[in-house]
Structure 1
Amino acid sequence: MPDEQKSQRATLRALFEAQPILRAHELRTAGVAAQTIARALDDGELDRIARGLYQRHGASIETDQALAEVAKRIPKGVIAMLSALAYHQLTDQMPRRVWIALGKSDWSPAPS
């Protein structure tokens, strides 16, 4: 394995120690090449949880995993309404969907 590959893999591991879920854009900005991400997926070190969204393989799934995924996929969104109430344990209802609020001029994501 070349030295550059080792350093990228070390950077990848350090990033995932700091945050449980990362976007591909965040990894590339930190200097991790797309090929390194692909190799980490092939080696079983990472799991792809959604398009452009990754977590360490074997990472424990938190109860608020869906909120974390939405926050990573829509960085300008704000968790709102019933989702926010449930997160702060201010209601006994469990939302079927994650509610988010967006600004008037913000990009509206396509439902997945």
Structure 2
Amino acid sequence: MKRTNQQILDLAQSEGLIRSRDITARGLPRVALTRLVREGLLIRLDRGLYALPDRQVSEHGSLAEVASKYPDGIVCLLSALRVHGLTTQSPFNVWLAIPNKDRSPKMDYPPLRIVRFSGKALTEGIEEHVIDGVTVHMTNVARTVVDCFKFRNKIGLDVALESLREAWGNKRVSMDDLWRYAVLFRVANVMRPYMESLS
């Protein structure tokens, strides 16, 4: 039992966040997680998601928690803007894109705002970031700005304009990249006047 507990604690130390299915995949009993939580050696963050109580959490730790639980989700819109440093807003929710036909994920914390992507939206302009030891899929800077225009009715045109100004002003995007995604995601006509005013 002590050896099992130590293996789980070592895994939590190296991975940052562990899922109950990670334990089962290694042939370790799930009941050990409950025991370790009861002893105060692990904390339960959400159903099936655990961590060491004294783990170091970065500013974007909630994104790592979401990605641990939903590795196929794509962090987007306001949450991606925050990671890219393109907004003054600090979103209360984690904005997560999932495939059109997938069931909406449920988490106690952090709260999720779900948007649905299909086709190229699931693959174009997606990059991987490692946050607190967890791989997080996220829209890149240019794609994030374009998505803000595409979903302007959800987040507000003012946020989309701020993201465009910040990304362009800080030389984080090129007009070519913005235009490519704008055409691909059918918001070129919406973005054209704002892009022209910058160049």
- Normalised to the residue count of structure 1, the TM-score between the two structures is 0.84
62, 69, 72: which is aligned to 2:68?
Answer: 72
1:1-112 correspondence to structure 2 within 5 Å: 5-110=1-106, 112=108
Rg: which structure is higher? 2
Listed as ranges, the gaps of 5+ residues in structure 2 are 109-199
Listed as ranges, the gaps of 5+ residues in structure 1 are none
Instruction: Give the AA of the match of 2:100.
Output: K
Give the Cα–Cα distance (whole angstroms) in 1 for the partners of residues 35 and 97 of structure 2: 36
Residues paired across the two proteins, number: 108
How large is the RMSD of aligned CA atoms in angstroms?
1.6
Deviations 1:22-43 (A, max 9, x none): 1111122122212211111111
Give the Cα–Cα distance (whole angstroms) in 2 for the partners of residues 76 and 57 of structure 1: 26
Give the Cα–Cα distance (whole angstroms) in 2 for the partners of residues 29 and 50 of structure 1: 19
Q: Counterpart of 1:94 in 2: which secondary structure?
A: coil
Instruction: Give the AA of the match of 2:60.
Output: D
Compute the displacement of 1:44 (Å). Answer: 1.0
4+ residue runs over 6 A deviation = none
- Normalised to the residue count of structure 2, the TM-score between the two structures is 0.50
Identity among equivalent pairs (%): 31
